[in-house]
């Protein structure tokens, strides 16, 4: 039986309360892989995290080797093969986006340096904490040991939301929806590319004939789904975010022709500026390694949508230039 050492940041938070038991149960790395969890939190949250660790212990997961609880990033990232950067500073009342980016920039500078110094040679890093695209760019910029291909950020939650909405509209099972890609930023400017999606093997625009709904309701509903959940339950997405992270890592580790969406460092694909971090369609070519799928065709509406989200990402890069 193989084993993997996994670091999770923000480990006492809502997302991780849903995430950690599922990792320990084998849902992320499979039934034949033992897991060691190294959990990182800020000092004021350590007592809460110790309670989470007790619960993990009380579950008696056969695949859970051990759990480390710490507020020291160097200890948390030591020897880790997967670093799941879930924690980030949330946006407070009246806070400008530029302030949020800079506050999180300081966090991800430190974590990026610590990963570079302490993680295992085969390490892969996934950024979940928002604004995840730019946080990922900052963390990756601090590593002189791992190239940008080792870093990804999560847009799988947006992909899952889009798949579920298309399936509901078409009256089919979610497994009938494929090639659903998310382009750009994890923000309301994202472009859920319905034009290249397939439903039961047919173009989504053939199956769903109401193209006004696709443009005017589907796209903004995917982009603003997180806000709708906050309005409904008073808290941000947790279980669905944890599920999406499991999907992200499993897809990244599973060789397949299936297309999934992740945030990667742009090399100029689809008109994105080189060096920004944008959601794109990829396929996994070996465990932990992917290639960007570059054969999606776009009309003027799609190109304009991608240009809009690209402009936002370029603006974010300018706001955090001092950290890069």
Task: State the catalytic residue, choosing from 186, 211, 248, 260.
Answer: 186
User: Cα 306 vs. chain centroid, distance in angstroms?
Assistant: 19
With the C-alpha atoms ordered 198, 199, 201, 205, is the resulting torsion angle positive or negative?
negative
CB-count burial class (<10 Å; 0-12, 13-18, 19+) for 292: middle
Q: Which helix (H) or strand (E) holds 191?
A: strand 191-193
> How is residue 198 written in tokens?
């397939």
Q: How long is the chain?
A: 324
Q: How far is CA 290 from CA 24, 57, 256, 282, in A?
A: 25, 35, 10, 6
Cα distance between residue 216 and residue 28, in whole Å? 35
Q: How far apart are the first and last CA of the chain?
A: 40
- Can 260 be counted among the known catalytic residues? no
Which of 47, 51, 44, 53 has the alpha carbon at shortest distance from 8? 53
Strand partners, 177: 199
Q: Is 80 helix (H, G, I), strand (E, B) or coil?
A: coil
Structural contact between residues 319 and 312, judged by C-beta atoms closer than 8 angstroms: no
What residues are labeled active site?
186
């Amino acid at each position: 039986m193989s084993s993997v050492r996994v670091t999770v940041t923000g480990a006492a938070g809502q997302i991780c309360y849903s995430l950690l038991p599922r990792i320990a149960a084998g849902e992320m790395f499979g039934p034949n892989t033992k897991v060691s969890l190294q959990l990182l939190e800020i000092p004021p949250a350590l007592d809460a995290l110790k309670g989470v660790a007790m619960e993990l212990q009380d579950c008696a997961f056969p695949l859970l080797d051990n759990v480390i609880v710490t507020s020291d990033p160097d200890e948390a990232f030591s020897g880790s093969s997967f670093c799941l950067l879930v924690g980030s500073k949330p946006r407070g009342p009246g806070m400008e986006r530029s302030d949020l980016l800079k506050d999180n920039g300081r966090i991800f500078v430190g974590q990026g340096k610590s990963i570079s110094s302490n993680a295992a040679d085969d390490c892969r890093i996934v950024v979940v904490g928002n604004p995840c695209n730019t946080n990922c760019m900052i963390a990756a910029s601090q590593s002189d040991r791992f190239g940008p291909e080792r870093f990804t950020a999560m847009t799988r939650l947006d992909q899952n939301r889009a798949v579920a909405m298309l399936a509901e509209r078409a009256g089919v099972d979610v497994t009938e929806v494929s090639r659903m890609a998310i382009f750009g930023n994890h923000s309301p400017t994202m472009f859920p590319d319905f034009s290249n999606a397939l439903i039961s093997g047919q173009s989504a625009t053939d199956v769903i004939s109401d193209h006004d709904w696709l443009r005017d309701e589907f796209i903004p509903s995917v982009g603003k789904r997180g806000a709708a959940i906050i309005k409904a339950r008073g808290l941000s997405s947790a279980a669905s975010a944890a599920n999406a992270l499991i999907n992200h890592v499993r897809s990244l580790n599973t060789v397949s022709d299936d297309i999934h969406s992740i945030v990667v460092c742009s090399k100029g694909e689809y008109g994105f500026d080189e060096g920004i971090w944008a959601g794109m369609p990829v396929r996994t070519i070996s465990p932990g390694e992917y290639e960007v799928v570059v054969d999606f065709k776009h009309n003027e509406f799609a190109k304009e949508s991608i240009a809009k989200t690209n402009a936002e990402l370029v603006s974010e890069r300018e706001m955090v230039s001092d950290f890069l």
